[in-house]
Amino acid sequence: MCPPSHFEVTYSINPWMEPDKPTDAPLATVQWERLRALLVTLGHRVDVVSPRPGLPDMVFAANAATVVDGRVLAARYRYPQRSGEEPAYQAWFAEHGYPVLRPRYVNEGEGDMLPTGTRILAGTGFRTDERAHAEAAEYFGLPVVTLRLVDPYFYHLDTALAVLGHDEIMYYPGAFSPESQAVLRELYPTAIQAGAADAAVFGLNAISDGRHVLLPQAATHLTERLRAAGFEPIDVDLSELLKAGGSAKCCALELRDQESS
Ligand code: ARG
């Protein structure tokens, strides 16, 4: 995770971002700190990357890479406004002894690449280049399922789909092309499907450890469905970060180290 010390909305690279609307970095930091403390309380280790000035989206650590079995596929951002984050996160991985591959194609890390226990679900359409999916499949030696995003408000896969457990997901069908909706129905016939209202408050941008699911309480139906399915939903309010088009999941890049999995 990376604290939102320099958080603001100074440019617009997704429809949620309105640079004219004021932001409050101290409030963002309070909300972020609550999320960090909650993860620690639940027994997870949280490493913190130093924020750098001039990189207001650096708080969205999930976009920095995809990590599977200790191997790191770094990000290559679509927009120049975020490319300064690449060396910052790569340096952290290098300092901590992780092997890092810099990708050839645009790849926004766990924003668009969501590993399940058996495969990687990969988004494309707005940010990550479809060719990056094959690159990830080759690097990790895992099957990668390409999913096409069609609604600009759900520009990253992790805004429309969350991995809940080994082979369980929840998603908002409206964010995907008809073909990708069919793929999801086929692969996950029993998945929890979210409606437009829960998706619009970033209910799908959730962090799950297989039991606890951290999501905004405003996603009321989703919260009920998760509880009915045996999960423990926990409310996290990241209203400030929503102004940049991000919420809980965007803030945490999963390292999947043996000890924390
Ligand atoms: N402003 C950021 C962007 O548009 C938000 C990133 C949110 N992160 C995420 N994992 N969806 O790139």
Would you say residue 227 has pLDDT above 60? yes
Would you say residue 230 has pLDDT above 50? yes
> Which residue ranges have their beta carbon within 6 Å of ligand 1?
13-14, 17, 57, 60, 62-63, 82, 111, 156, 158-159, 244-246, 250
Q: What local confidence, expressed as pLDDT, does residue 257 receive?
A: 79
pLDDT in tens, 138-171: 999 999 999 999 999 999 999 999 999 999 999 9
Reduced 3-state DSSP string for 208-247:
ECCCEEEECCCCHHHHHHHHHCCCEEEECCCHHHHCCCCC
Would you say residue 260 has pLDDT above 90? no
pLDDT in tens, 97-122: 999 999 999 999 999 999 999 999 99
**Gap between the Cα atoms of 232 and 229, Å rounded:** 9
Average pLDDT of span 64-80: 97
25-260 classified as CATH 3.90.600.10:
no
Which residues participate in catalysis according to the annotation? 156, 250
Span between the terminal Cα atoms of the chain, in Å: 17
Nearest CA to ligand 1 atom 7: 246
Which atom from ligand 1 is nearest to the alpha carbon of 108? 10
**Gap between the Cα atoms of 52 and 213, Å rounded:** 29
Ligand 1: centre distance to CA 159 (Å): 9
Query: Strands 161-165 and 168-171: what pairing?
Result: antiparallel
- In the chain, where the domains are located: 25-260
Which atom from ligand 1 is nearest to the alpha carbon of 246? 7
